[in-house]
Amino acid sequence: MLNSFMVKITASFISFILAFGTFFGAYKAPKTQEASKYFDDNIKNVIYLIGDGMGFNHLEKTKVEKNTELVMDTFEIKGSSMTRSFNKKVTDSAAGGTALSSGIRTNNSAVGVYPFDKQAKYSYPKNITELCMESGMLTGVVTSDATTGATPSSFSAHESNRNNTAELTADQFESGINFIWGLSNGVATKSNAEKAGYEYITTYDEMMSLEEGGYSYAQFNNNLWTIEQSDSETPTLEQMSMKAIDILDDTDEGFFLMIEGAHIDKHSHSNASDEMTESLESFDDTIEAVLEYAKADGETLVVVTADHETGAITPKGNGYIFTSGDHSAADVPVLVYGSDKLIAKGEKLNNYEIPIRIAYVLGFDETQFPVAVIV
Ligand SMILES: [Zn+2]
């Protein structure tokens, strides 16, 4: 999808979309705020952290089993999100990621497209990465999953199916995003990346030598979710995230960075408690480092949430157990640092409202996001 084809939606097309259901629901400011004041002019940067599959009880289970405290518990502004997709009460990561990136609900398996136009033949929803890019902000996507996993793809691609790896990769190379880093997807090649103007990297040292403002695509080859480096060539999620901030944070326009901790979900599907809790701790370590940056910076909004819960974790005795190997419809946390205008304490949002609120905190208005891009 070429940026040059992006055209703002017309009023008649908005009515057309509204006719399709409630997923495009009217934007409401938090109860404590006036809509007209819904702008936080201190905020220039956004770091959006998504713990794939992370419900409230994932945090409780980790604290009990690792006998540890979590930085995620220290956020003063905490609410929750109702996760569902357009066609199912229980969402997958594609529709869940699309809600979190684009402010709309779509069908399970779909990535950054409308439920009624899955091939993006006529239109697709602009995602928040594209919105930020258009305003001159630098952008980056970092994940412990493959670069074309459903969550990173929702912030960088528009395809009917999350399994269309070649098409998702091609979309990412056309996206204009400064960098997309994650595990090798088996499809992206050095020559394709370079043809698209992206530096192709595969090692920790190559990542660390990247400079500000360039374009890079990382295909690492070992686990990115462990607390310590899985080998000297492979960074941790925290190392990727800190390097990402380092090469994004020097412009007047600000930056948008999405960071996904993917294996909270993957290890919940297999009910692997030790691996799940380690993934969650690795994600929490990343959040700790991000918060330290944001506190020093003073102009950065940090939002932590999840696309859905996985494993239906339930209290039992003194602990917490998996009761399923699949996703559930349980609400997930929304944790915010940097602005009290995104969510009121204890407020429950629909998943698709989160990126809309981020856009409003950045100063965009409802004519700018969410909107359709006509193709
Ligand atoms: Zn999953």
Query: What secondary structure, in 3-state letters, does 142-155 show?
Result: EEEEECCCHHHHHC
Q: Say what percent of the chain tops pLDDT 90.
A: 87
pLDDT of 126-140, one tens digit each? Answer: 999 999 999 999 999
Q: How far is CA 148 from the centre of its chain?
A: 13
Q: Is the pLDDT of residue 3 over 90?
A: no
Average pLDDT of the chain, as a whole number: 91
Q: Is the pLDDT of residue 329 over 60?
A: yes
Residues 256/128, Cβ–Cβ less than 8 Å: yes
For ligand 1, the distance from its centroid to the CA atom of residue 23, given in whole angstroms, is 22
Q: What is the mean pLDDT of residues 119-128?
A: 97
For ligand 1, the distance from its centroid to the CA atom of residue 329, given in whole angstroms, is 12
**Among the listed residues 92, 126, 131, the one whose alpha carbon sits nearest the alpha carbon of residue 309:** 92
**Token pair of 95 as six digits:** 């529709």
For ligand 1, the distance from its centroid to the CA atom of residue 39, given in whole angstroms, is 34
For ligand 1, the distance from its centroid to the CA atom of residue 145, given in whole angstroms, is 11
pLDDT of 40: 57
Q: What is the mean pLDDT of residues 1-14?
A: 39
For ligand 1, the distance from its centroid to the CA atom of residue 217, given in whole angstroms, is 24
For ligand 1, the distance from its centroid to the CA atom of residue 299, given in whole angstroms, is 33
For ligand 1, the distance from its centroid to the CA atom of residue 272, given in whole angstroms, is 13
Q: What is the mean pLDDT of residues 279-286?
A: 98
For ligand 1, the distance from its centroid to the CA atom of residue 261, given in whole angstroms, is 12
Q: Tell me, what amino acid is at 246? A: D
Residues 308/58, Cβ–Cβ less than 8 Å: no
pLDDT of 42: 86
For ligand 1, the distance from its centroid to the CA atom of residue 263, given in whole angstroms, is 9
For ligand 1, the distance from its centroid to the CA atom of residue 327, given in whole angstroms, is 6
H or E element in which residue 247 lies: helix 237-248
For ligand 1, the distance from its centroid to the CA atom of residue 19, given in whole angstroms, is 31
Residues 252/136, Cβ–Cβ less than 8 Å: no
For ligand 1, the distance from its centroid to the CA atom of residue 207, given in whole angstroms, is 28
pLDDT of 269: 98
For ligand 1, the distance from its centroid to the CA atom of residue 282, given in whole angstroms, is 18
pLDDT of 181: 98
Residues 66/284, Cβ–Cβ less than 8 Å: no
pLDDT of 41: 63
Compute the half-sphere exposure of residue 207: CA atoms within 13 Å on the CB side of its CA.
27
For ligand 1, the distance from its centroid to the CA atom of residue 165, given in whole angstroms, is 17
pLDDT of 213: 85
Confidence grade of residue 336 (pLDDT, cut at 50, 70, 90)? very high
Tokens 């869940």 sit on residue: 96
Q: What is the mean pLDDT of residues 279-304?
A: 97
For ligand 1, the distance from its centroid to the CA atom of residue 4, given in whole angstroms, is 34
Q: List residues bridging with 328 in a β-sheet.
A: 309
Q: Is 331 left (phi over 0), alpha (psi -120 to 50) or beta?
A: beta
**Of residues 25 and 154, which shows the higher confidence score?**
154
Q: What is the mean pLDDT of residues 352-372?
A: 95
pLDDT of 214-263, one tens digit each? Answer: 999 999 999 999 999 999 999 999 999 999 999 999 889 999 999 999 99
Q: What is the mean pLDDT of residues 275-294?
A: 98
For ligand 1, the distance from its centroid to the CA atom of residue 94, given in whole angstroms, is 9
Would the pTM count as exceeding 0.85?
yes
Residues 126 and 305: their CA atoms lie apart, in Å, by: 20
For ligand 1, the distance from its centroid to the CA atom of residue 51, given in whole angstroms, is 11
**Of residues 368 and 213, which shows the higher confidence score?**
368
Q: Is the pLDDT of residue 363 over 50?
A: yes
pLDDT of 205: 98
Residues 203 and 123: their CA atoms lie apart, in Å, by: 37
pLDDT of 274: 98
**Token pair of 137 as six digits:** 């902000």
pLDDT of 356: 97
pLDDT of 77-115, one tens digit each? Answer: 999 999 999 999 999 999 999 999 999 999 999 999 999
Q: Say what percent of the chain tops pLDDT 70.
A: 89
pLDDT of 109: 98
Q: What is the mean pLDDT of residues 26-39?
A: 37
For ligand 1, the distance from its centroid to the CA atom of residue 249, given in whole angstroms, is 32
183-204: b (≥16 Cβ within 10 Å) or e: bebebbeeebbeebebbbbbbb
Q: Tell me, what amino acid is at 60? A: E
For ligand 1, the distance from its centroid to the CA atom of residue 118, given in whole angstroms, is 21
For ligand 1, the distance from its centroid to the CA atom of residue 312, given in whole angstroms, is 12
Q: Is the pLDDT of residue 271 over 90?
A: yes
For ligand 1, the distance from its centroid to the CA atom of residue 93, given in whole angstroms, is 6
String of DSSP letters for 208-270? HT--TT--EEEEE-S-SSSSS-SBTTB--HHHHHHHHHHHHTT-SS-EEEEEEETHHHHHHHT
**Token pair of 15 as six digits:** 């009515």
For ligand 1, the distance from its centroid to the CA atom of residue 75, given in whole angstroms, is 26
| Furthest CA-CA distance within the chain | 58
For ligand 1, the distance from its centroid to the CA atom of residue 53, given in whole angstroms, is 6
Residues 212 and 222: their CA atoms lie apart, in Å, by: 25
pLDDT of 44-77, one tens digit each? Answer: 999 999 999 999 999 999 999 999 999 999 999 9
Confidence grade of residue 25 (pLDDT, cut at 50, 70, 90)? very low
For ligand 1, the distance from its centroid to the CA atom of residue 91, given in whole angstroms, is 9
Q: Is the pLDDT of residue 6 over 80?
A: no
